[in-house]
Structure 1
């Protein structure tokens, strides 16, 4: 049965994967009640695990180093609490399979933004070549399709991974319908944005930091 994470972990982890987020965005990430989220964020702030920063007339919560350490502790405890170690094994297997898909998706997003020009140069893609853009979108669709069974396997063990597939499909459909910003635009609504959030979620769950990744088959928790 899919494990349902505790609200405290979900709020802390939502701030981590989003990078910076207001209470509404944190609540929306896992379908939590925004009033509960606001109370939990204030509790986490009192513990020194999150901080609020205002910028450009808006603001958002982000993790402190203490908050990141606590998120890592809670994630490790969640996997360790699985008596047969299946969740940790699935996370390790998915992370291994994710690596080549990640490389393909990043290349496709680069191809959306830049394209070959004369003398081996790369120019900004002006999207005047419909065939080029269609090829990029087809590649993105192939990567997203290949990720679906991996996401299903994760969600079957840890419910907080549920929804990435639908978000990727939604962003891809919008891009195919003509909204180019949904390919690699800034924010969580683009294919690239959702994918980066997923990547951070997967690495964090496996206990891997981006700065010094170990063997992607390494698994945290019981084997």
Structure 2
């Protein structure tokens, strides 16, 4: 497990630029803890700040490389975790990417064009499929969620985004200005890659 300082710096690898409030929303720490960690990280030159937002520095990334190796050594040696990551990369992650493409585009006369979201039934089917993949993902990532509470938090946040999308707030499927399914999935993927020491697939 990471302490509040390590976790705050780590969160800036998941969201490239963020305020203390935005980082706390991701990692679940109290805002005061995140603010204290950021103040220390600034002193340590692990992060830089501008206009109230923060981003990680090369020194911060180097610091985290050492942290991960220590904090996640047992997790990285766990065969169940390795198997779960293989299932994630070859299964549910590819399904989410395909469904995101299907959400953003539709096929017309054999060509892909931008989805204008005028077909409510088409959109509803995509959201339903996303829900099924989310349920499957919770099962696939169970070994990681058992070892790291933040994985469960990401899954809960994806569930919240799906609920809002089902209620008609369709920006919560792939919008970049909200905590959409796509946005939170990207953060979760980056998080579990860093836990397990793997590279993001091309």
Structure 2 residue aligned with 1:184: 174
Matches of 1:93 and 1:177, distance apart in 2: 35
Equivalent residues in 2 for 1:30-179, closer than 5 Å: 30-54=27-51, 59-80=52-73, 82=74, 88-99=78-89, 100-118=91-109, 120-179=110-169
1:151-182, CA deviations, whole angstroms, 9 ceiling, x for partnerless residues?
A: 33212112232312211111111111111100
Q: Kindly tell me: are residues 86 and 202 of structure 1, through their superposed partners in 2, closer, same or farther at Cα, counting changes over 3 Å?
A: closer
Partner SS for 1:18:
coil
Matches of 1:10 and 1:86, distance apart in 2: 18
Shift, 1:133, TM fit: 1.2
Extract unaligned runs of 5+ from structure 1: 215-223
Contact 1:5 1:158 (C-alpha < 8 Å) held by counterparts? no
Matches of 2:182 and 2:99, distance apart in 1: 10
Contact 2:76 2:195 (C-alpha < 8 Å) held by counterparts? no
Q: RMSD of aligned C-alpha atoms?
A: 2.1
1:204 aligns with 2:194: yes
1:15-34, CA deviations, whole angstroms, 9 ceiling, x for partnerless residues?
A: 11122111112223233222
Contact 2:76 2:197 (C-alpha < 8 Å) held by counterparts? no
Greater shift in the superposed pair: 193-202 or 69-78: 69-78
Matches of 1:24 and 1:87, distance apart in 2: 34
Q: Which has the higher contact order (CA 8 A, sep 6+)?
A: 1
Q: Kindly tell me: are residues 74 and 36 of structure 1, through their superposed partners in 2, closer, same or farther at Cα, counting changes over 3 Å?
A: same
TM-score by length of 2: 0.89
Structure 2 residue aligned with 1:26: 23
Q: How many residues align?
A: 201
Matches of 1:101 and 1:24, distance apart in 2: 30
Matches of 2:84 and 2:123, distance apart in 1: 29
TM-score by length of 1: 0.82
